[in-house]
Structure 1
Amino acid sequence: MATKEEIIEIIDKNHNQIELLIDKKIQIWTEYVLFSGLWWMGVGLSIIPWIIWFVIRKRDSTDRLLYTAFYIMAIAVISDILGDQLGLWHYRYHVIPVLPTYFPWDVTLMPLTIITLIQTKPNVNPWIKAVFFALVASYCAEPFFDWLGVYEPVHWRYSYSVPLQIILYMSAHALSKRNQFSRIEQ
């Protein structure tokens, strides 16, 4: 059995190796990715859809939809970090080099697509919207970013994403319908 000091030494050594790799990743990003066409595309995909949504959103639903969007962002970022760290996929052409996720997808495209679907034709069965979203995200968006060279599914198939996307959409839909918030009293 290792002592506490030996465990600390092993963990610190591993951490130092990770820091060196991150430094190398930032160096590669600065030299080859920053200001490249795919980097600019990522920046645009991170900002422009939010501007468009801000114009077309239902004004009286803004808070509810943003609440739902932040939930989607959190799940997307956590899922992407797990997938990347487990070696299921990885991204190139990061907008922000130290994030192992594709920022435009997790923080803009996925949440905005879902909340736009939620606010559009609200009487349509949410399961239909969930399946539509999952199929488009899994069989159009993922292959497109793979084709561009931004996304590399290593041990992942597009079909694996379909049920996860359906669950994400349905949970976001349920969350968007919540209205049991009490007022915060001073």
Structure 2
Amino acid sequence: MSYPSFDEILNLQYKLTDFRLQYWVEHDLFTWQWWLLAIMLILPWFLWYKIIPKERKAEVLSYGLLLGLLTSQMDEVGITSGAWAYPYQLTQLNRGLNPYNFALIPVFYMIVYYYYPKWKHFIIGNVVIAILATFVVEPILISMGIYKLLHWKLIYSFPIYILLPIVFRIFHYYLIEQHKMETKKSTKPT
């Protein structure tokens, strides 16, 4: 069986990058969808800045950035596997929906993380986010032509929206406890 060479793959990748850039400039840039994506990127962070107190910003931000990075990676897997696509992009730097992955979703999870330190309320808050994201925000993005489902159903997103923040809270608390233990060890007189 014959397969393409690495150089052939690179050439196709360069051509696809050129096509995407041309599409973005002619189709996306400065449309109302593009402006909406810009607002989706900026407004949640303004809200976050106003809500989260200065003394907790670093802790809450580290939790949210971890979530944003994983969300972005999962988004890339979904795009690459052909599960969904985004006909409108804020930038052409990657194929994911950056305003959603790095602003809207993480900021709302960070707000729940901050306001609900007890597990029961934290889980309830994340279920509410999951319901809103799956059954309100995603359908709106679909109706606006920003999000296109290919081989995915909205209901598949629901458990992911619930599990991600819970897993990351466990991981984040573990990291914080490890840091506290290391700090105690380093400050003990010898």
> TM-score, structure 2 length as denominator?
0.86
Secondary structure at 2:95 match in 1: coil
Secondary structure at 2:5 match in 1: helix
Aligned partner of 2:75 among 74, 80, 84: 80
Q: Deviations over 1:129-173 (max 9, x none)?
A: 232222211111111111110000100001001111111021233
Aligned partner of 1:16 among 11, 35, 41: 11
The answer to whether the aligner puts 1:163 opposite 2:159 as a matched pair is: yes
Aligned partner of 1:177 among 170, 173, 187: 173
RMSD between aligned alpha carbons? 1.9
* CA shift for structure 1 position 46: 0.7
Match of 1:130 in 2: 126
* CA shift for structure 1 position 106: 0.4
Match of 2:64 in 1: 69
Q: Aligned runs of 1:102-141 on 2, under 5 Å?
A: 102-123=97-118, 125=120, 126-141=122-137
How far apart, in 2, do the equivalents of 1:51 and 1:128 lie?
A: 24
CA 1:114–1:133: 2 relative to 1, 3 Å: same
Give the structure with the larger helix fraction: 2
The answer to whether the aligner puts 1:145 opposite 2:121 as a matched pair is: no
> Are the aligned partners of 1:38 and 1:93 in contact in 2 as well (CA < 8 Å)?
yes
Which consecutive residues of structure 1, in runs of 5 or more, have no partner in the other structure?
none
How far apart, in 1, do the equivalents of 2:7 and 2:170 lie?
A: 43
Which consecutive residues of structure 2, in runs of 5 or more, have no partner in the other structure?
none
The percentage of aligned residue pairs carrying the same residue is 24
Match of 1:96 in 2: 91
Q: Aligned runs of 1:13-52 on 2, under 5 Å?
A: 13-52=8-47
